[in-house]
Amino acid sequence: MEPALLKKQLFALMKEKAYHEGEIKLASGKMSHYYIDARAVTLSAQGAYLVGHIVFDMIRELEVHAAGGPTLGADPIVGALALVSFQSDLPINTFLIRKNPKSHGRMLQVEGPTLKAGDEVVLLDDVATTGGSLIDAIEVLKKMDIPVRKAIVIVDREEGAQENLAKLGCELVSVFKASEFFSEKYRPVKDQKRS
């Protein structure tokens, strides 16, 4: 299926199942007039299929060792990506980063096939606001001497994540911008005049 058609289908699914308007407190602590519950889509069969194919298409040419990100937002994305990449005969290993290392077993903070110093990776997450979760992930990987080529999110809320990651030398790429989902009520006045 064509990438543009996959993206169009994912947008419709996100708009229907994940985008909600109304006052809500975000993980960043900020209050917002909308919320994007991306896991309502990324954990669905259709959403996983679409996200897996779209993200695979975005990184297939990068020649990275692995792709992964902070748990819980990245969990369904990495599972879908691993499956799609294997089915496409271009397998990409995936990983998850815990907030803190486990207190038992191997006491790992990064779960998945072993990453070695120098292995280049792509970070994944569902939604980015200020980029805090991705910045924390970059710091964890930096301690392991693992460079991050770029970060990909399904939705960029356009509230500083791109700029904050750029300060660390990491490009943030999104499938969608949050403003693409806004109803007329929440569109900036300049956008309303163009309509």
59-92: per-residue pLDDT in tens? 999 999 999 999 999 999 999 999 999 999 999 9
End-to-end CA distance of the chain, in Å? 31
Q: List pLDDT tens digits, range 108-122.
A: 999 999 999 999 999
Q: What is the structure's pLDDT at 107?
A: 80
Domain count, the chain: 1
Number of residues that make up the chain: 195
Q: Read off the DSSP letter of residue 184.
A: G
Q: Is 71 annotated as a binding residue?
A: no
Identify the residue with better confidence: 186 or 114. 114
Distance between CA atoms of residues 2 and 17, nearest Å: 23
Whether this prediction's pTM lies above 0.95 is answered by: no
Q: Is 73 annotated as a binding residue?
A: no
Q: Is 53 annotated as a binding residue?
A: no
Place of tokens 């809500």: 24
Mean pLDDT rounded to a whole number for the chain: 93
Distance between CA atoms of residues 140 and 146, nearest Å: 9
Q: Mean pLDDT lowest for which of 91-95, 125-129, 188-192?
A: 188-192
- Phi/psi of residue 192, nearest 5 degrees: -65, -35
Query: Is the four-CA dihedral 100, 80, 171, 119 of positive or negative sign?
Result: positive
**Phi-psi region for residue 66, left (φ > 0), alpha (ψ -120 to 50) or beta?**
beta
Distance between CA atoms of residues 18 and 131, nearest Å: 19
pLDDT at 192 over 50: no
Q: Is 29 annotated as a binding residue?
A: no
**Could you tell me the pLDDT band of residue 51, with boundaries at 50, 70 and 90?**
very high
**Could you tell me the pLDDT band of residue 194, with boundaries at 50, 70 and 90?**
very low
Q: What is the structure's pLDDT at 186?
A: 73
Q: Is 126 annotated as a binding residue?
A: yes
Q: Is 131 annotated as a binding residue?
A: yes
User: Is 175 strand, coil or helix?
Assistant: strand
**Domain of 111: which CATH number?**
3.40.50.2020
Q: Is 157 annotated as a binding residue?
A: yes
Pairing of strands 19-25, 31-36: antiparallel
**147: amino acid identity, one letter:** P
- The parent domain of residue 137 ranges over 3-194
Distance between CA atoms of residues 84 and 50, nearest Å: 10
